[in-house]
Amino acid sequence: MTAPLRSGEPIVVQVALAERAYDIVIGRGLIGSLGTRIKALRPGAKVAIVTDENVAQKHLATAEAALDAAGIEHSAIVVPPGEGSKNFATFEKVCEAIVAARIERSDLIVALGGGVIGDLAGFAAASVRRGLDFVQVPTTLLSQVDSSVGGKTGINSRHGKNLVGAFHQPALVIADTALLDTLSPREFRAGYAEVMKFGLLGDAAFFAWLEANWQDIFAGGQSSGSFAREHAIAVCCRGKAGIVSRDEREIGERALLNLGHTFGHALEAGAGFSQRLLHGEAVALGCVLAFEFSARKGLIAAADATRARAHLEAVGLPTQVKDVSGGVPDVDALMNLIAQDKKVKRGKLTFILVHGIGKAFIANDVDPAEVRAFLTDKLKA
């Protein structure tokens, strides 16, 4: 883990993918540079901005003003907010709107929003005219540290989360930390789950730093906490960029980034992809379950699971199944959802488990009976 940032200069992290390499630019106030950065990236390109109703109300005018100042022709495609927009109907609407706007292969899509918009707009960019370049402008903490980086795009199926999609890398990521000031406390906490996840899976020193500094990250704004926030985002982006550059299509170590997601996605689907359980909240709960399942299998000391849970509880994230508003499905339904996980290979369950904090590993061929017994106990707790 590098030393925390001590200046207001933007941080640039490169995702090294040969001719498809791109930069992640991190700092406050960067949305104002959107036009100049796009003009430098693709001179003469038109832009279609994909966003949702909530983000449009807060940030679309600023993004459009930046494009106007650079003389860039643009249009906007606005969809309803929330996970419910990651569906076939909305995907079709976005694709048709891009075509109607006469966006050509030399033009750009801008994904202005959180993880839902990044996934949806990125998948549309991968599909329309058999592939358009796109720029990610993530507006949530979760999307700045995770979903905007690495090229995973897609929509949900009735069978589970992110089951239809494509690997399609962005041409640029602009992570304006000032945009996070408009998030609700719940949304920010949910995004923090992905920050914490990175420490748990591969960086014990970073996790210890988070335990000591998480309140500064939450403070943000113009205070000294903003540097802690930018530092945390940069650490996560550097770590993910390194993994993606070595394993772009998740045939090996990139699967480690799914720590907490196998349990989490099943719970999220079981809650109907609704406000009952946000994605980051599901990841937090999934990480706790992954650590506790690892402890049950004798892979770690119980103290490690207790430490992970204690930090999430301190932050205010859910750590027990009973914390899910409205409850979750029974164990049979959860096992069916887990069986649809993308890491399943020839019907065998794969989980990301741990040998300790910062020591995640890929566990292939996990016994479904063990998982069922574990979940049965958790549903009773």
The catalytic position among 42, 258, 268, 309 is: 258
Determine the Cα–Cα distance for residues 5 and 228; give it in Å rounded to an integer: 7
Find the helix or strand (DSSP H, E) in which 15 lies: strand 11-15
| Longest Cα separation, the chain | 61
Judge whether 64 counts as a catalytic residue: no
Q: For residue 253, give the DSSP letter.
A: G
**pLDDT value at position 381?**
80
Judge whether 211 counts as a catalytic residue: no
Q: Catalogue all structural domains in the chain, each as residue range(s) with its CATH number.
A: 11-182 (3.40.50.1970), 186-380 (1.20.1090.10)
Tokens, residue 62: 């600023």
Hey, what amino acid is at 270? G
Judge whether 250 counts as a catalytic residue: yes
Query: pLDDT below 50 — which residues of the chain?
Result: 2-3, 5, 224-225
The catalytic position among 279, 342, 343, 378 is: 279
User: Pairing between strand 152-157 and 160-167?
Assistant: antiparallel
Closest CA to 45 of 123, 141, 132: 132
Residue with tokens 């985002």: 233
The catalytic position among 37, 168, 189, 254 is: 254
The catalytic position among 37, 261, 342, 343 is: 261
Predicted model pTM = 0.91
The catalytic position among 230, 250, 281, 292 is: 250
Burial (CB < 10 A; 0-12, 13-18, 19+), residue 32, is middle
Tens digits of per-residue pLDDT, 158-190? 888 899 999 999 999 999 999 999 999 999 999
The catalytic position among 130, 158, 346, 380 is: 130
The catalytic position among 168, 231, 238, 265 is: 265
**pLDDT value at position 224?**
45
**pLDDT value at position 221?**
58
The catalytic position among 42, 197, 238, 240 is: 240
Burial (CB < 10 A; 0-12, 13-18, 19+), residue 191, is buried
**pLDDT value at position 340?**
82
Tokens, residue 143: 């999307």
Q: For residue 20, give the DSSP letter.
A: G
Judge whether 261 counts as a catalytic residue: yes
**pLDDT value at position 161?**
86
Determine the Cα–Cα distance for residues 33 and 65; give it in Å rounded to an integer: 10
Q: Are 283 and 260 in contact (CB under 8 A)?
A: yes
Judge whether 102 counts as a catalytic residue: no
Find the helix or strand (DSSP H, E) in which 172 lies: strand 172-176
Name the region of 264 (left: φ>0; alpha: ψ -120 to 50; beta: rest). alpha
Determine the Cα–Cα distance for residues 252 and 268; give it in Å rounded to an integer: 25
The catalytic position among 83, 187, 194, 268 is: 194
Tokens, residue 264: 């989490």
The catalytic position among 37, 152, 311, 343 is: 152
Judge whether 54 counts as a catalytic residue: no
Cα Rg of the chain (Å, integer): 20
Q: Where are the alpha helices (DSSP H) in the chain?
A: 34-41, 53-55, 61-69, 88-100, 115-127, 141-142, 185-202, 204-219, 225-246, 261-270, 279-296, 302-315, 331-338, 368-380
Determine the Cα–Cα distance for residues 269 and 273; give it in Å rounded to an integer: 5
